[in-house]
Chains A and B, each alone.
Chain A
């Protein structure tokens, strides 16, 4: 079980701005659940996911994984503890091939067939990509798919994906939603996906609605989806737009 206790994260003082991005969030995610975190832009979803992975340090609060307090652990230690994280905008690496990146993720040598299975699940043909460098020659959509493939190769009990659908075309998106369902069913992992897409939201076991840095809703997709329009409208009004 993943448990967050009273997580608060404020805008760092060195930015010259003030504000609270995560405001005293507490929640529990039981093992093996398919969770989608949704909510308006700027509401705190990505920061919450980064706090779980250790990519940012909260000002207060604690995080527990299977009863172990992982709050003091760095990113590497959290990866070892069983958490992985797919970046919204994955970095590129000149000189490192797709195959090498998959092997870093798997922490072992992978056969061509194994690499192929990961890439096929994200809609890429292995023969076209295995020896390509993860550099600027790849499109944004290709980068996103490779990012997802690395998380598949890492195969941890908790997998977090930050807007995996962004930059992926419509046809691949259909394949992707199926892939997430298959990952969840075949590995039994705790799957946490940040998404705005109704198709992804609707296949979750549970949906968390994050807005204004707070957990403002939680429930089954059919319970949360009707609330989303109202939440987005309120966020829109805050930004000064006509509602």
Chain B
């Protein structure tokens, strides 16, 4: 596949981009800047002390988006990138991040993204992050994303984190703190196969009265892959939080799911649920009675869980 086609394909997979996005964007490719646009409301600037960018969203910015995809198409690139988001007050913005690695060589390619968010009062941020790896090379494809976020009073952060496939090893760490009436919603979808390893360590700390969090993690582990989930909710105030982990295990995979809830206030209401299981035989049979083959039924069940 030509380099330009690889680039287009990765952008489509990780950011649903078919062409240059509307609004602000910053495309990082093979550790360099491949394109950037600032707008009246959103400014992106390169850090001077370390690799990465600062993204500034003005107070009152409504219904705007910023795309910051990262592409690695050369083998042997390993990078640590720091992206800091400064979201003003009363904003409503969509941030589409994500990383795609195409590794045709035999050297390791790795992207470690450290993202921090400071979200102003009453702002709503939707953050979509997709990770994808491909390529016939023997070199590993590794991503270790970290995310820290602070939500000011009345702010909302909706995180949609998806690992579509092809990543040999990922160790993701997320820490989010929420002030009064702030709301956190995390949707995590992970598929692993082969000998891939996934570790996901997520903590939401509810510091403010009226704050809430929902962590919803769904995964499928195939082949010899391993997954470890460690979602933790801490309630330090009159707050509500719910952690739910659902995993389908297949082949010789291994999954550990360890949700933790920690209440440091008598008014904290925290719930956790976790389930791991194989696809039930009657699920396959039901879909077969509707006309699907056994293979189509399995695909439909997995696609539904990871949707």
Q: Are A94 and B286 in contact (CB under 8 A)?
A: no
Contact of A91 (CB < 8 Å), options: B286, B304, B306: B286
Flag B228-254 by CB within 8 Å of A: 1 or 0 each.
000000000000000000100000000
CB of A94 within 8 A of CB of B289, answer no
CB pair A150–B290 under 8 Å, yes or no, is yes
Summarize B's interface: helix, strand, loop or mixed: helix
Q: Is the CB of A94 within 8 A of B290?
A: no
Return chain A residues, CB-CB under 8 Å to B300.
96, 104
> CA A91 – CA B307 in complex, angstroms?
19
**A184–B75 CA distance with the chains assembled, in angstroms:** 64
Given the interface pairs A96-B300, A96-B304, A100-B304, the reply to whether A91 lies near B291 with Cβ below 8 Å is no
Contacts A85-B289, A150-B290 given; does A91 touch B218 at CB 8 Å: no
B282 engages A94 (CB within 8 Å): no
Interface of A is mostly: mixed
Number of A-B pairs, beta carbon distance below 8 Å: 59
Tell me the B residues contacting A by CB distance below 8 Å. Answer: 218, 246, 280, 282-283, 285-294, 300-301, 303-307
Chain A, interface residues (CB within 8 Å), range:
20 to 34
Knowing A93-B283, A94-B246, say if A79 contacts B304 (CB, 8 Å): no
Q: Is A74 an interface residue (CB 8 A)?
A: yes
What residues make up the interface of A, taking CB atoms closer than 8 Å to B?
53, 55, 74-76, 79-80, 84-85, 87, 89-96, 100, 104-105, 107, 150, 154
Are A105 and B290 in contact, CB atoms less than 8 angstroms apart?
yes
Could you tell me the distance between the alpha carbons of A90 and B291 in the complex, rounded to whole angstroms? Answer: 16
Between A53, A76, A93, the greatest number of chain B beta carbons within 10 A of the residue's beta carbon is seen for A76
Residues from chain A with a CB closer than 8 A to the CB of B305 are 94-95
Neighbour of A93 across the interface among B289, B293, B301, CB < 8 A: B301
